[in-house]
């Protein structure tokens, strides 16, 4: 056979095959484009009502694809400043778009209360928190949250809180006074944060986890540092679209050297959980634990282990997630608030002396540790704590998702499918509610002023069914710690209010820490 004919045949076969493949490729591209167009049109039709209602709200100009995401470029400090600027520029409620997600921003008490009671579904962005805290009570979807909250409720029984936990608060606060000894009377400023956060973590380990063996400060501080860094990283995903996909976020963490940071967060809670489960099984074998006894148990972890033991639907993963969530919530809130409050008292010597006089009227020069009755008499100290929570709300915003239409003030509607940002910071800094809101002024919580304000004008722990379970725990523990420190130390600082730069991750913080000087009030510690 003529070889040239074979070559020609092969040549034409290749051309025909290439032409055929090109037609298939062209068809597939056309089909893909057509599918995308169909999806987009269908998507827009489904959201037509939502977008029409949302565009009736005032707000910054958005752009195709990105919405207002460009507004939140920069560092966490920049993002917080921009958010504050938006709240000062637009009256509540207003709207923003983050990529394709519309948010109605609520920063007035009446609408805040309406939404907090009517909308319990968390915004889908909380899925980012799962990497850090697991799918616990802080981030879980509605049905799971309802079930688990019923389980957790007994752990915050006031009888347990006031008569068992207070003993632990006092023991840990005495240890805190002793740890501060090396920095007292030196004349040098130092950062309170390492001391306060270590005490908060050790306290939550014992009160919530029944774990008394945390003596290694390196272990505690390793957990604390990992918790802070995890919160910083996770928070970026809420407003930086390029970090929302898990693959890119994982790559970003590894590039920064924090690829295993979430495992570090889990080490201490998992260690405590393992030991407590072993002890619980021993108690059960010896007959100390029985069905129906969970309401008399004294700590959070035993209640959860007991529920896991009697309920097949409560998995090991859920048990672990709830433990990590309570570790975060129970340590960060108190540490941040008390650190800010002590620094504020260092700036305002007149207010500090008024607080000390109140404490002295209850305790005198003695070294008696506080009981519940003592703490209830420290009303001005409580005003200082509340003013700190107003000026520096630990969680500045809460995100919800509307399953159905919500009627708010001025005849406006938040449509089903819309996301909602409940601006706690905005309410707490509204000059119509709190004159001169940037000033730290405990008189904002004089009883007559409180009586004349809307009850949702102060919402540091949110409100409604999904409000924070641990707010009584937080207030008792903060009063116990602050009163103990102020009885022992005179606090000063060179820091001024205008020097404070705020950073926000999962909670609000001072970028430069909490610098103070301490001197003994009585020449020596009381304890």
Q: What is the pLDDT of residue 298?
A: 62
pLDDT value at position 197? 93
Q: What is the pLDDT of residue 287?
A: 65
Contacts 24+ apart (CB under 8 A), 255-262: 258/229, 258/233, 261/226, 261/229, 261/230, 261/233, 262/131, 262/132, 262/230
pLDDT score recorded for residue 281: 78
When pLDDT is cut at 50, 70 and 90, the band that residue 488 belongs to is very high
pLDDT higher than 60, residue 18: no
Residue 244: name the closest of 63, 35, 72, 422 by CA. Answer: 72
For the segment 319-345, what is each residue's pLDDT rounded down to a tens digit? Answer: 788 888 888 887 888 999 999 999 999
Q: Is pLDDT larger for residue 278 or for residue 444?
A: 444
pLDDT tens digits, 371-425:
999 999 999 999 999 999 999 999 999 999 999 999 998 889 999 999 999 999 9
- Between 15 and 482, the more confident residue is 482
Asked if residue 25 has pLDDT above 70, the reply is no
How far apart CA 261 and CA 244 sit, in angstroms, is 18
Q: State residue 394's pLDDT score.
A: 94
* pTM tops 0.85: yes
pLDDT of residue 295 exceeding 60: no
For the ranges 93-107, 268-282, 337-351, which has the lowest average pLDDT?
A: 268-282
Highest mean pLDDT out of 208-212, 317-321, 480-484: 480-484
Give me the chain's average pLDDT, please.
Answer: 86
Phi and psi at residue 420, in whole multiples of 5°?
Answer: -130, 135
Q: In which band, very low, low, confident or very high, does the pLDDT at 225 lie, cut at 50, 70 and 90?
A: confident
Half-sphere exposure of 358 (CA within 13 A, CB side): 22
Per-residue pLDDT at 24 exceeds 80 = no
Q: DSSP string of 187-209?
A: S--EESHHHHHHHHHHHHHHHTT
């Amino acid at each position: 056979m003529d070889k040239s004919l074979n070559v020609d045949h092969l040549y034409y076969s290749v051309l025909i095959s290439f032409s055929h493949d090109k037609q298939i490729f062209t068809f597939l591209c056309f089909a893909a484009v057509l599918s995308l167009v169909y999806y987009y049109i269908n998507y827009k039709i489904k959201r037509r009502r939502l977008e029409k209602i949302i565009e009736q709200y005032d707000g910054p100009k958005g752009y195709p694809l990105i919405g207002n995401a460009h507004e939140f470029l920069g560092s966490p400090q920049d993002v917080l400043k921009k958010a504050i600027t938006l709240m000062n520029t637009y009256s509540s409620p207003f709207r923003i778009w983050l990529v394709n997600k519309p948010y109605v921003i609520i920063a007035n008490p009446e609408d805040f209360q309406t939404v907090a009671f009517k909308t319990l579904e968390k915004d889908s962005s909380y899925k980012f928190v799962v990497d850090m805290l697991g799918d616990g009570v802080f981030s879980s979807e509605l049905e799971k949250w309802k079930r688990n909250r019923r389980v957790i409720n007994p752990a915050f029984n006031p009888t347990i809180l006031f008569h068992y936990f207070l003993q632990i608060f006092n023991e840990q606060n005495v240890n805190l006074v002793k740890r501060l000894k090396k920095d007292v009377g030196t004349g040098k400023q130092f950062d309170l944060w390492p001391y306060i956060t270590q005490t908060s973590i050790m306290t939550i380990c014992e009160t919530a986890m029944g774990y008394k063996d945390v003596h290694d400060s390196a272990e505690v501080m390793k957990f604390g540092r990992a918790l802070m860094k995890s919160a910083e990283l996770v928070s970026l995903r809420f407003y930086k679209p390029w970090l929302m996909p898990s693959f890119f976020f994982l790559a970003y963490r590894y590039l920064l050297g924090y690829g295993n940071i979430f495992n570090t967060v889990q080490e201490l809670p998992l260690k405590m959980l393992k030991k407590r489960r072993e002890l619980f099984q021993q108690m059960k074998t010896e007959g100390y634990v029985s069905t129906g006894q969970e309401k008399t148990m004294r700590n959070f972890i035993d209640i959860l282990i007991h529920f896991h033991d009697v309920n097949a639907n409560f998995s090991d993963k859920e048990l672990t997630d709830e433990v990590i969530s309570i570790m975060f919530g129970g340590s960060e809130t108190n540490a941040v608030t008390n650190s800010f409050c002590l620094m504020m008292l260092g700036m305002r010597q007149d207010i500090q002396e008024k607080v000390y006089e109140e404490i002295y009227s209850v305790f005198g020069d003695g070294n008696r540790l506080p009981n519940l009755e003592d703490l209830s008499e420290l009303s001005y100290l409580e005003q200082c704590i509340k003013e700190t929570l107003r000026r520096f709300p630990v969680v500045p915003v809460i995100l919800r998702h509307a399953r159905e239409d919500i009627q708010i003030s001025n005849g406006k509607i938040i449509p089903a499918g819309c996301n909602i940002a409940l601006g706690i910071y905005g309410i707490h800094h509204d000059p119509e509610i709190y004159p001169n809101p940037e000033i730290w002024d405990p008189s904002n919580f004089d009883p007559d002023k409180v009586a004349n304000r809307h009850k949702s004008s102060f919402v540091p722990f949110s409100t409604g069914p999904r409000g924070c379970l641990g707010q009584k725990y937080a207030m008792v523990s903060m009063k116990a710690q602050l009163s103990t420190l102020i009885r022992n130390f005179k606090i000063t600082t060179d820091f001024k209010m205008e020097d404070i730069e705020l950073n926000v991750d999962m909670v609000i913080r001072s970028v430069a820490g909490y610098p103070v000087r301490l001197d003994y009030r009585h020449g020596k510690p009381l304890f």
